[in-house]
């Protein structure tokens, strides 16, 4: 495999947050596959994996600045229940696509207090130190089709796109 040819890498991983709580894992499912250099995963995670081969096990922690950013208080706002005209009931944890001054964003309902809704547009993992325990299950050269598409087809099936 030439160093200029992107690889499709299949990994099993367990992801924990700053408190050690399990956030996600592929251990009970098929491995996650991604195409190198396609910006499918956190860049620091991909960089740490690049020098490894099938069978290697690694553990890497990613700081918020290199993961999903720091939490920004400005992204937490109170809005009127009227901002959700097609929704009869709102509950904490619900997610919506909203159009903001900076473009479309996914917002999470943080709290509902009568007619006031507290929304949070921070990524759910913003501010977290992310720790990945990884086992590299397979490494192979990407096909021409995969290089053209920019994603491995199994990656698209598992999570529907990049970070």
Over residues 23-52, the pLDDT tens digits come to 999 999 999 999 998 888 999 999 999 999
- Identify the pLDDT of residue 3: 58
Least reliable range by pLDDT among 57-66, 121-130, 145-154: 145-154
Residues of the chain with CATH 3.10.50.40: 7-67+126-159
User: Given a cut of 80, is residue 53 above it in pLDDT?
Assistant: yes
The residues near 150 (Cβ < 8 Å, ≥ 6 apart) are 35, 38
Give the whole-number percent of the chain exceeding pLDDT 90: 68
What is 73-120's CATH topology? Answer: Thrombin, subunit H (2.40.10)
Mean pLDDT (whole number) for 63-85: 93
Pull the structure tokens for residue 90: 């709102």
Residue 25 backbone zone (phi > 0: left; psi -120 to 50: alpha; other: beta) = beta
Quickly state the pLDDT bin for 151 (edges 50, 70, 90). Answer: low
- Identify the pLDDT of residue 161: 38
* Burial of residue 128 (number of CB atoms within 10 Å: 0-12, 13-18, 19+): buried
What is 7-67+126-159's CATH topology? Answer: Chitinase A; domain 3 (3.10.50)
**32 close to 11: Cβ distance less than 8 angstroms:** yes
- Strands 76-80, 116-120: pairing is antiparallel
Mean pLDDT (whole number) for 12-18: 95
Residues of the chain with CATH 2.40.10.330: 73-120
């Amino acid at each position: 495999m030439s160093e200029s040819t992107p690889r499709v890498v299949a990994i099993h991983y367990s992801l924990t947050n700053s408190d050690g709580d399990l956030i996600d894992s592929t251990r009970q499912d098929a491995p996650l596959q991604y195409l190198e250099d396609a910006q499918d995963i956190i860049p620091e995670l991909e960089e740490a994996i690049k020098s490894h081969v099938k069978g290697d096990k690694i553990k890497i922690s990613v700081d918020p600045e290199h993961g999903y950013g720091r939490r920004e208080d400005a992204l937490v706002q109170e809005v009127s229940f009227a901002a959700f005209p097609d929704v009869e009931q709102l509950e904490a944890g619900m997610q919506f696509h909203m159009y903001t001054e900076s473009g479309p964003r996914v917002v999470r309902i943080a709290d509902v207090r009568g007619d006031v809704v507290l929304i949070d547009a921070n990524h759910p993992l913003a501010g977290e130190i992310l720790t990945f325990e990884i086992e590299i299950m397979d490494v192979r050269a990407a096909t021409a089709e995969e290089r053209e598409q920019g994603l491995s087809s199994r990656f698209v099936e598992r999570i529907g796109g990049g970070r």
